[in-house]
A and B are shown apart, each in its own frame.
Chain A
Amino acid sequence: MQADKPDSHVVGTSVGRSDGVAKVVGTARYVDDLPKRPGELHGVTVRAPVARGTLRAVKFDPSFDWSDITVVQAADVPTNVVAVIAYDQPVLASTAINHAYEPIVLLACADRAKLARAKLAVHLDIDPLEPVLDIQTSLSDQNVVWSAPDGFGDKGTNVMKRYLITKGEADVDAEHARCARVVSGTYSTHQQEQLYIEPQGVVAWWDDDGAHVIGSIQCPYYVHKAFLKTFGLDAERIDISQAVTGGGFGGKEEYPSIIALHAALLAKKSGRPVRMIYDRAEDIEATTKRHPCECEVTTGCDADGTLRVLKMRVLMDAGAYVTLTPVVLSRGVLHAAGTYRWPTVQIEAIAVATNTPPNGAFRGFGAPQTIWAIERHMDAVAAYLGVDPMDLKRQNLLVEGDTTATGQVLRMSVSSTACLEGGLSAARYAERKRELDLENQARAQRGERKRLGIGASIFMHGAGFTGSGERMLKGKAALDLLPGGGLRIRTASTDIGQGTETVFRQIASDASGVPMEHIDFAVPSTKVCPDSGPTVASRTVMVVGSIVERCAREIGDAVKAEQARGGGSFAQAGDRLLTKGPVTVLRQYEPPDFVKWDDTTYKGDAYPCFAWMCDVAELEVDLDTFEVEVKRFHIAGDVGKAINPKMCLGQLEGGTLQAIGWALSEELVWRDGLIKNPRITNYIVPTALDAPPFETALVEAPFEFGPGGGAKGIGELPMDGGRRRSPPPSSTPPGSPCTTCRSPPSAFTPRAWAGRSANDNLPEGSQPRVDSTQAQRSAA
């Protein structure tokens, strides 16, 4: 039987994670669990205590015994730049201090208690300068705090990056004038901390082979690139590998380059291995966060709700340096139109510099900000038209054959309707809305102080790098045939919890016919694995997984051909091949031919495909305390093809809870550019009691170029939703779910509460504006 059916068919089954047993018995080694290397030192960072200033001098307390402390300053850095996109960020600040917590001095010592005292014995002599701490101040250019490197931003301003997307009529304002209904609104979203439970950390050392780093790293080749630039080493003298990683969510995408450079600088100077593990406060203060964003939206539609024109301005706060901001802004602007048909579009996007720690990658990468804005705006339009928001969304939903804001024709794998209808019917949206209204009336009569509400959202997320990104990136993967008929997968795609290792093994198994247990997954390392591109952008399974699939199929076919020629088992045939030399297949990603993208006009196929998702949330709001409890949560999410269904659930539900946390409780409190709550006790993420029960349905709209029969990227998708809140108008706390995403209960003030009119669910001063002339005209 087995000979007839060589394929093991594990794709589509929820096999347990390959690294699961090590994780449940406690033997999985995260970076801080790695045994001490001989002579190892601990490293710490002395950081700027102000948001902006000029560093005059660094003084070392002469009464302190510095004999066993290694000290590294800017002058010790061979090329003092962190190579990401633009080369504007120093590894250590020398004179200009551009954000609080900017690293200035590195210290290493074997004795941690002494190291803590040494930190206090370093005195920074700083002349403070007036900082710029928010988007609008930055945009005014009254205080220019950033100097554009060549090829970036607008010279002499704080603007780091701009994009413009246009579609349809050239004059959007004239198009608005032709519309029966025009609604405007401004929607802002606040920062979010990734709060992976394992803080950032690395161990670095040098030997005759060059520099070595092992750590909690999402993208080993990013660190590799940073080392090439800073240390000027040959590529093969840099060895970056991943330890088991305790969550990343983007937070360990670009930041690890910095901590790795720091540890390696200390290791180089001391001649000893150096371990740097951030404590929680340092991790929250110094590392990247989700970009704050403001979206100004004006839309026009016909009286019957048919959308005609979208005008939008997207503003993002990049923080002090460029890091990944151009890419985040790009993804934000490419998702800004939501999943709706707009004949005419004008979306302008601008990222500006501020004197805050650089904002960076976080699951969703700009899209959650703009999608939230368009979803809230659609709700406002629906309210104005007097229709249910989901009816308006359904009416204007992008379906197969439609054209997106960038002019991309949706050719295949379009599941918008399936997700929308699936989510709404599973949640019994319409019935529940009526039931909750009745229940609320009864509660009001009984004098009770809690009300129920239901709301839904529909959104899509592009998978893989934008436009021509994958073509330029040339991601690679390799598979080796092992003695005994086994395989080894070599990619730089890290498993940071999402299940890469397991899913790749499932894909390789089905493609090659080799059982999963005979397939190894090499630890991602720049010495061993080819550059598959980073573990980001919902691209790991869809893009790298498809290279793995191709390699596995080729190796499997080669062995089977040998088997057909010379007989014997698969393993015997494989061993015969190996006698002639190593059998390895290395392949590069080939994007589907149809993907055409123009970076100069920002037109074309932004992504090879999109995944869709519909969220339906039921909430309870306390009218006295403004506390919100999420009672139930339905998800209908399109994954293309579920390689491992339970892992898909884990991605969709986990991402959704991050989105819920962002809306309801997570908030960084800033004062003068410093973070006042860099602790888990007051940066509040949801506990198991706060999380709603999730009822998740996987929708499968296969993408023919995806592996395993059509898998699409889903890592970021759920982060785009989760924040839709629609309590009944009479109970909606002001200031909250409407135009700012920030809505922990204490964000609502009783004054604003008292000031709101009974039938208005929007806070005073922040209602989406309705153009009265237009309204009158439509009435006429």
Chain B
Amino acid sequence: MLIRLKLNGQLREVDTAPMRRLLDVLREELELTGTKEGCGEGECGTCTVLLDGEVVNACMVVIGQCDGRDVVTVEGLGSEAHLLPIQKTFVTEGGAQCGICTPGMLISAEALLRRNASPTDEQIREALAGNLCRCTGYERIVASVRAAALARSSGGAS
């Protein structure tokens, strides 16, 4: 089945079996390996992407459901040369350690900041509760999101 989708801002076509998971098509056909697999059952959140602006687990969406829709992965945030505030602060504040949860964590965090420019810590924790991290204890991640919110509000947003 030919699937047309907007992927990280660009129109893409992919001809594949419609029941394959969005996660597999992203990683294999579209060579976007930033989106990771940690459990395959919607628990760990490391495959989090935006689907029409909503945070979803790419292991629970089949590619046939994505025809005509808008998908954003970690590669669609900022590039190395133009990092978004949330990407910068995950580096400077210690939000990323082993980094395997980071792509999904960034997607959830960016989605939060887009709907709520100055979230409370509790709101940050709720927004990230679907993304498991085993390294940080989450405090540095919450600090990273807080710092990104500040950077965005002071015009640091790109």
Query: In the complex, is A directly touching B at CB under 8 Å?
Result: yes
**Could you list some 10 contacts between A and B, CB below 8 A?**
A24-B74, A24-B91, A32-B37, A196-B100, A247-B135, A654-B97, A657-B138, A681-B43, A688-B138, A689-B126
**CB of A288 to closest CB in B, whole Å:** 16
Chain B residues in contact with chain A, CB under 8 A?
27, 32-41, 43-44, 46, 73-75, 77-80, 83, 87-88, 90-94, 96-103, 106, 121, 124-126, 128-142
Check B39 against A20 for contact (C-beta < 8 Å). Answer: no
Check B78 against A25 for contact (C-beta < 8 Å). Answer: yes
Residues of B within 8 A of A30 (CB): 33, 36, 100
Residues of B within 8 A of A679 (CB): 39, 41, 43
**A-B contact number at CB 8 A:** 183
Check A196 against B32 for contact (C-beta < 8 Å). Answer: no
CA A696 to CA B35, docked complex, whole Å: 32
Check A656 against B137 for contact (C-beta < 8 Å). Answer: yes
Check B83 against A25 for contact (C-beta < 8 Å). Answer: yes
Check B94 against A646 for contact (C-beta < 8 Å). Answer: yes
Contact of A24 among B33, B97, B102, B136 (CB under 8 A): B102
Residues of A within 8 A of B131 (CB): 688
Give a binary string over A236-248; 1 marks a CB under 8 Å from any B CB, 0 the rest.
Answer: 0000000011111
Check B44 against A21 for contact (C-beta < 8 Å). Answer: no
Q: Which of A17-45 contact B (CB under 8 A)?
A: 17, 19-30, 32-33
- Closest B residue to A249 by CB, please name it: B134
Contacting chain B: which of A95-103, A149-157, A492-500, A510-518? A492-500
Q: Which of A238-289 contact B (CB under 8 A)?
A: 244-249, 279-280
Give a binary string over A688-699; 1 marks a CB under 8 Å from any B CB, 0 the rest.
Answer: 110101101000
Instruction: Classify the secondary structure of B's interface with A.
Output: loop
Check A498 against B134 for contact (C-beta < 8 Å). Answer: no
Check A657 against B93 for contact (C-beta < 8 Å). Answer: no
Residues of B within 8 A of A681 (CB): 39, 41, 43
Contact of A29 among B33, B37, B41, B87 (CB under 8 A): B33
Residues of B within 8 A of A561 (CB): none
Check B134 against A247 for contact (C-beta < 8 Å). Answer: yes
CA A17 to CA B35, docked complex, whole Å: 20
Residues of B within 8 A of A383 (CB): none
Check A650 against B140 for contact (C-beta < 8 Å). Answer: yes
CA A693 to CA B128, docked complex, whole Å: 14
Check B91 against A20 for contact (C-beta < 8 Å). Answer: yes
- Known contacts A17-B96, A196-B98; is A658 also within 8 Å of B33 by CB? no
Does A687 count as interface, using CB distance less than 8 angstroms? Answer: yes
- Closest A residue to B130 by CB, please name it: A687
Contact of B34 among A26, A656, A657 (CB under 8 A): A26
Check B100 against A247 for contact (C-beta < 8 Å). Answer: yes
**CB of B141 to closest CB in A, whole Å:** 7
Contact of A680 among B27, B44, B78, B129 (CB under 8 A): B44
Check A650 against B94 for contact (C-beta < 8 Å). Answer: yes
Does A503 count as interface, using CB distance less than 8 angstroms? Answer: no
- Known contacts A195-B134, A649-B140, A654-B137; is A28 also within 8 Å of B99 by CB? yes
